[in-house]
Chain A
Amino acid sequence: GAGVSQSPRYKVAKRGQDVALRCDPISGHVSLFWYQQALGQGPEFLTYFQNEAQLDKSGLPSDRFFAERPEGSVSTLKIQRTQQEDSAVYLCASSPRQGVGTDTQYFGPGTRLTVL
């Protein structure tokens, strides 16, 4: 009965470096979401997967952000050429079904990214 896990929990990168953030959703969950949370703000949607299909990437702030979920389970959020404004907590969430707006989303603890 493990929940959503994310790794690393903390990441410090120098400006211009590439980073990869990993999310392990709850086993069997169809839907997977990535959110970005700046300090003192609520989470903001980045992208959504239904199994391996990325159905919505409207929240990705630039083409430096890329997400994948190749086998419909683990997902990776990659940020290329990191900038200081990318510093935030990146949250992953999963939910059991698809296309059900009332489903509870289960969040991981997040990865805190600091770009120096």
Chain B
Amino acid sequence: LAKTTQPISMDSYEGQEVNITCSHNNIATNDYITWYQQFPSQGPRFIIQGYKTKVTNEVASLFIPADRKSSTLSLPRVSLSDTAVYYCLVGARARNTDKLIFGTGTRLQVFP
């Protein structure tokens, strides 16, 4: 399974755009890139998923360059409620299971 590397922590202020980059140099051809968000005392929550180029939903955008060795989660105009840990996952499918492989994530702190 592809290993991911992302910053341990990031700080931002309300109203700013936040970009969190994840490196996954050994991503496989059939791997998707998925981001989850986790608030304290809650389970992770799916944010967005993509395979290549750009994906956008009501919460975030995901940018994936042509070589797919990295990806960037973009959160537009963050608010205090976006303070959470963000996980980048690649290669969820392993053998006959669909287990998710989480790293340590990026802890985003949004200040007023």
Query: Which residues of A are interface residues toward B (Cβ below 8 A)?
Result: 4, 31, 33, 35, 40-45, 48, 55-56, 59, 91-93, 95, 99-110
Q: Report the bound CA distance from A60 to B59 in whole Å.
A: 34
> Looking at chain B's contact residues, is the secondary structure mostly helix, strand, loop, or mixed?
loop
Residues in A neighbouring B46, C-beta threshold 8 A: 104-106
Q: By CB atoms of chain B within 10 A, which of A35, A101, A103 has the most? A: A101
Q: Report the bound CA distance from A40 to B42 in whole Å.
A: 13
B92 and A42: CB pair below 8 A? Answer: no
Q: Report the bound CA distance from A109 to B38 in whole Å.
A: 10
Residues in A neighbouring B101, C-beta threshold 8 A: 45
Question: Nearest residue in B to A59 (C-beta to C-beta)?
Answer: B99
Question: B112 at interface (Cβ–Cβ under 8 A)?
Answer: no
Q: A42-B103, A42-B105 are in contact. Are A109 and B41 (CB under 8 A)?
A: yes
Question: B80 at interface (Cβ–Cβ under 8 A)?
Answer: no
Q: A42-B102, A102-B32 are in contact. Are A4 and B43 (CB under 8 A)?
A: yes
Query: Which residues of B are interface residues toward A (Cβ below 8 A)?
Result: 32, 34, 41-46, 49, 85, 87, 91-93, 95-105
Question: Nearest residue in B to A107 (C-beta to C-beta)?
Answer: B43
Q: Report the bound CA distance from A101 to B46 in whole Å.
A: 14
Distance of B111 from chain A, by nearest CB (Å): 21
Residues in A neighbouring B96, C-beta threshold 8 A: 55-56, 99
Question: Nearest residue in A to B43 (C-beta to C-beta)?
Answer: A107
Task: Choose among B32, B49, B104 the residue that contacts A42 (Cβ–Cβ < 8 A).
Answer: B104
Q: Report the bound CA distance from A56 to B98 in whole Å.
A: 10
7 smallest beta-carbon distances between A and B, as pairs? A101-B93, A107-B43, A42-B102, A56-B97, A45-B99, A104-B46, A101-B92
Distance of A92 from chain B, by nearest CB (Å): 8
Q: By CB atoms of chain A within 10 A, which of B32, B46, B91, B99 has the most? A: B99
Residues in A neighbouring B43, C-beta threshold 8 A: 4, 91-93, 107-110
Residues in A neighbouring B42, C-beta threshold 8 A: 107, 109-110
Q: Report the bound CA distance from A90 to B17 in whole Å.
A: 33
